[in-house]
Amino acid sequence: MAAEVVTRSVRMWLDDDGIVQQVSAPGSDYTLEVAHDVCARIRALAPGKPHPMLVDITLLRSISRDARTFFARQTTDSGISAVALLIASPLARVVGNFFMRASPATVPTRLFTSRDEARSWLHNFKERTP
């Protein structure tokens, strides 16, 4: 298991349940360059089988259109089986749903205001061994 990854924009780690955790730095802006970096770091952090991912964007300031499109298309290539986006408010859910329809993800993706509900949903996408 790889160590925690910390950059100017994110903090990421693979938790004991096999869920990739990502927390956006307060006031950060996700550009296409940040999106490329995040996906490369996910591949290094959680190689092998696909993992579900919990992304806390409650303190994110902005995400560019190019970054949203890149994330939506690159998720499976990054080894992610599902994405739960943790948001701060019901208004953010409305805005987030609008953007998710504009750039549909290649894996199941949902918005949550509760970390526990997000983790519960993500457990449905963990790879099971026979």
Please give the average per-residue pLDDT across 12-27, as a whole number: 94
Q: H helices within the chain, ranges in order? A: 32-45, 65-74, 90-102, 115-122
Asked whether residue 114 carries a pLDDT value surpassing 90, the answer given is yes
Q: In this structure, what token pair is assigned to residue 13?
A: 């780690």
Please give the average per-residue pLDDT across 85-97, as a whole number: 77
Which residues have CB under 8 Å from 30's CB, separation 6+?
Answer: 9, 24, 38, 60, 62, 63, 64, 67
Asked whether residue 70 carries a pLDDT value surpassing 70, the answer given is yes
Asked whether residue 103 carries a pLDDT value surpassing 70, the answer given is no
Per-residue confidence band for 129, with pLDDT thresholds at 50, 70 and 90? very low
| Domains of the chain, each with CATH number or no CATH | 5-125 (3.30.750.24)
Contact status, residue 118 vs residue 94, Cβ threshold 8 Å: no
* Residues constituting the chain: 130
Helix (H, G, I), strand (E, B) or coil at 34: helix
Sign, CA dihedral 13-112-56-32, equals positive
Helix (H, G, I), strand (E, B) or coil at 27: coil
